[in-house]
Structure 1
């Protein structure tokens, strides 16, 4: 699991970006820090409405995989996940008003039908073409979890099916809003293969 501390304000990237991996606790001596060298934001990203809220990060060197560091799988052809249980893991706050967690936390949520998402989140500009939503009783992603993976377990493997985007508070009885990875299959593959969309992060305008 990697934590990317990525801040974008008025499309200007704030130069405090690093990844931490290899440990369940950021204070562990086994935690490895790596800089993020460049980022490719989706060209239609809307900071005001969170449309196309997805980016690909580029690190300067390969990760060292081992017992506690594994790649999450991508499978763009899982089909409809409505009603399925997914896992969200992140380093965000456990409750609104608190600081970020030093320990990696996870929770399980249920993916809701798009029509139900639209009904519950119509005041929050839910866009079914670029968003999905999921809900858990008294549990939720929270501030600081944005960018974290939403994973579906398929046999022995975890498949990344979404990315934490935003929500209505933390566990306030409302579903959270996530980015469905499968919608962006072509953009992800083209971005990685081409490489020209990546921009250095220090002192660069993002869009």
Structure 2
């Protein structure tokens, strides 16, 4: 597989925890898919984080005059940026969505990124990793409703990470995924990633 799994960051906030958590997810992903004597991998898998501050992001609010559900041909998108986003999403074999919880929901910039497209998301395997003071479960639930019911993606699991108070109200930030409190979530994330990989392989086998 030449195209990496896309790690979509739900927050563009500077000096937040998204960058460190992205590094953690990437590190755990690489461990989860590494071949072993008992489980040699027949598929070359990699992951790439999508920088929310660079192309194909940021996209901003939805302004296309035609709703995405009525646009089957990407050439019909009015914005070149949305056409580029369409090509990116179409090429990605699957997504891991890393999102904070804001006020019991997920960030508006993530909703905008999702709503720019419709058909491109259909059938894509997706794993949600949410985080917040109480684990981000409410934001994850809202997000899954949009991903699965609205955009017809294939949900392969979720992992909800509770951030210690000093990472939210204080100056502490997740540092390249090496923080001690993350270790308790690693086994769960490995399992969720392997479910995602299984969904990709199943989808590839059926095409």
Higher strand share: 1
TM-score by shorter chain over 0.5: no
Structure number having the greater helix percentage: 2
Q: Report which structure shows greater RCO (CA 8 Å, sep ≥6).
A: 2
Provide TM-score, normalisation by structure 2. 0.26
Give the TM-score taking structure 1 as reference length. 0.26
